[in-house]
Chains A and B, each alone.
Chain A
Amino acid sequence: MSNQKPAIAINDLTVAYDYKPVLWDIDLEIPEGVLMAIVGPNGAGKSTLIKSILQIVKPIAGSIEVFGKPYKRNQRMVAYVPQKGSVDWDFPTNALDVVMMGTYGKLGWIKRPGQKQKKAALEALEKVGMLEFKERQISQLSGGQQQRIFLARALVQNARIYLMDEPFQGVDATTEKAIVNLLKELRKAGKTVVVVHHDLQTVPEYFDWVTFLNVKKIATGPVKDIFNDDNLTKTYGINYKVAVSES
């Protein structure tokens, strides 16, 4: 790990919905170049953590820095893959067009996407194995294909940090494998990838870092050091060990 500034530094972050804390006094440093899973039970604030890094959710306290600067200053370095259900897939557009949207950030206001942006979008589609579906209306894609479109849209932003909200939710085994390979490729290229993840069994196989979250931060570190029964129990409540080893 380099000694440089962490990719993301979260200090004393508290987020509340209607006065009820969803995240409570979170301190978290995400080093550059890690492939990190964020795990925790339902309602633990995993998605909220990602959304508050991106300032989609406004925290009531705390600060967030991206490579040592406030998020707004380094916004372009961060790409976001939201949950599939966050958009209306009946929107009249096709796969290529959705991926092109990823290029809008660098274009800024008013300027229109051209050949260069189209080429980048086609490359991203190829990387996720969706090139043949580029003209397909988005509602005609399967859940796994929609997820890959979202990934391609993030890839095209050419960011240094990727934040993903449950990219494995509702996708078939083939897509899951393809996504994992993509995540590992991103890490190899030196990118920082943070993934909200549900399936505890695959954590050691897919990720090298993990953060346990349940409103408060329970633990964070390399999977080999901290992915143990003790932390699982602390995060999920009593005797989680039994549930994991039996299933």
Chain B
Amino acid sequence: MSSAQIEIQLIATLVAVACAIPGTFLVLRKMAMISDAISHSILPGLVVGFFLTQDLNSPLLILLAAASGLITVILVEFIQKTGLVKEDTAIGLVFPVLFSIGVILIAKNANDVHLDIDAVLLGEIAFAPFDRILIDGMDYGPKSLWVIGSILLLTIILLLLYFKELKLSTFDEQLATTLGFSPVIIHYGLMSVASVTTVGAFDAVGAVLVVALMIAPAATAYLLTTDLKKMLVLAVLFGCAGAIGGYWLAHYLDASIAGSITTVLGAFFLLAYLFAPGRGMLSVSYKQKRQEKEVHLLTFLLHLQNHEETSERHIKHLNEHINWHRVKARSVVNLALKNNMIVIEDGVISLTPKGSEFTRQAIEFIMSGKSSAIEEMKKKFFLFRG
């Protein structure tokens, strides 16, 4: 690996981590789209900053761009508060206008500005190692590495200091108010960090893909854990894996690095969506199937308990009596047999003592409305294991 390759991967990783942290809170606050708005509307701030400083990595430019990101948030909230349109509409109104102002500014001054729309939208991280900090002939590495590194450091310090406040106001804003914290300050603090991070990441991955770096790792982590700290750690890890994996994918495909990073992040989400234990598609549909079967089993056992007469309990006519297809009736009978809840003599089904005890307890629990007790009962009777 050449040193440029290492530097590109390092920058991509720092960008991914810096995005994943505010992104986690944006996802939990259901504000994913606001990151899209910020990423586009920092453009006018960026352009004005560039006119003034002629340097894409100057702190003044970063501050101006971040300020236009914050103005977006304020404008969106202002329009939303009028009650005339909903939040998504307000977002859709604000950021294209600000973005267009940036585009016009670039077009009007195209001759003296080394800034083009393609780079703004998609970034070009492959060029990052060329723009270096040189002091007295000493090479201190790529500028964007220093920029995103400082932003990340600041983000981590703020996260460590205000984790408690962020968690509280994200979960329950009203409680935060009554406990004497100011959710408004925390909100704008988070928006400021998101804006500054976006500006820092912009150079590397562009306006469109910053959104993916903020949202995808956090959304993937959300599916995999029920603990906020673990969610943050997982989001950061997914961000890193996406950055490095994406770099090498781009290397082999000879394609855009930013695009490849986003594709890898998308793939992570898809995998979690399908296979996450508990919340993933497969796990959910398996659970639903199982619950359906349990209800059927109980219905069947209840039917047996309610009917003494053998005509109602004959295996051949069972499907007629409880209106089930043969296949379903057979699978339920098999489940009951496997659990020793029924016996079949001369084609007539009867409950075993275990079966009647199970039915009796189940009815009792259902009547008392204690669903947690039913779960315990199922464990006790080893349903699906016998």
CB of A142 within 8 A of CB of B371, answer yes
- A110 CB to closest chain B CB (Å) equals 5
- A181 CB to closest chain B CB (Å) equals 19
Q: What 12 new A-B contacts, CB under 8 Å, besides A92-B226, A104-B179, A113-B164?
A: A78-B178, A88-B30, A88-B171, A92-B227, A93-B167, A93-B226, A101-B171, A101-B172, A110-B161, A110-B164, A142-B371, A142-B372
Chain-B contact segment, one of A79-87, A194-202, A230-238: A79-87
- B108 CB to closest chain A CB (Å) equals 43
Partner-B contacts on A (CB < 8 A)? 18, 51, 54-56, 75-76, 78-80, 82, 86-88, 91-94, 98, 101-102, 104-105, 107-110, 112-113, 137, 139, 142, 153, 157, 172
Using known A-B contacts A56-B177, A93-B227, determine if residue A87 contacts B164 with beta carbons closer than 8 Å.
Answer: no
CB of B175 within 8 A of CB of A80, answer yes
User: Bound state CA distance, A93 and B164, in angstroms?
Assistant: 13
Interface on chain B toward A: helix, strand, loop, or mixed SS?
Answer: helix
- A165 CB to closest chain B CB (Å) equals 10
CB of A94 within 8 A of CB of B227, answer yes
User: Bound state CA distance, A55 and B30, in angstroms?
Assistant: 25
Partner of A82, one of B30, B172, B179, B180: B172
Interface range for B = 20 to 34
Query: Which 6 interchain pairs have the tightest Cβ spacing?
Result: A105-B179, A137-B226, A80-B178, A87-B172, A92-B228, A91-B171
User: Bound state CA distance, A80 and B179, in angstroms?
Assistant: 9
Indicate if B311 sits at the interface (CB-CB under 8 A). Answer: no
Q: Which residue, A101, A102, A113, A172, has most C-beta atoms of chain B within 10 A? A: A101
Indicate if B339 sits at the interface (CB-CB under 8 A). Answer: no
- B165 CB to closest chain A CB (Å) equals 7
Could you list 23 examples of A-B contacts with CB < 8 Å? A18-B83, A54-B174, A54-B177, A54-B178, A75-B180, A80-B175, A91-B171, A92-B226, A92-B227, A92-B230, A93-B228, A98-B171, A101-B168, A101-B175, A102-B175, A104-B165, A104-B179, A110-B164, A112-B163, A137-B226, A142-B371, A142-B372, A153-B175
Indicate if B181 sits at the interface (CB-CB under 8 A). Answer: yes
CB of A91 within 8 A of CB of B170, answer yes
Indicate if B231 sits at the interface (CB-CB under 8 A). Answer: yes
User: Bound state CA distance, A56 and B179, in angstroms?
Assistant: 11
CB of A56 within 8 A of CB of B174, answer yes
Neighbouring B residues of A91 by C-beta, 8 Å: 28, 170-171, 228
CB of A109 within 8 A of CB of B168, answer no
Neighbouring A residues of B369 by C-beta, 8 Å: 172
- B386 CB to closest chain A CB (Å) equals 26
Neighbouring B residues of A80 by C-beta, 8 Å: 174-175, 178
Instruction: Please give me the residue from chain B that is nearest to A133 by CB atom.
Output: B372
CB of A92 within 8 A of CB of B225, answer yes
Using known A-B contacts A54-B177, A92-B228, determine if residue A109 contacts B165 with beta carbons closer than 8 Å.
Answer: yes
Instruction: Please give me the residue from chain B that is nearest to A105 by CB atom.
Output: B179
Indicate if B162 sits at the interface (CB-CB under 8 A). Answer: yes
Instruction: Please give me the residue from chain A that is nearest to B29 by CB atom.
Output: A88
CB of A87 within 8 A of CB of B171, answer yes
Using known A-B contacts A91-B28, A92-B227, A92-B231, determine if residue A86 contacts B161 with beta carbons closer than 8 Å.
Answer: no
Give the residues from 172 to 210 in chain B that come closer than 8 angstroms, CB to CB, to chain A: 172, 174-175, 177-181
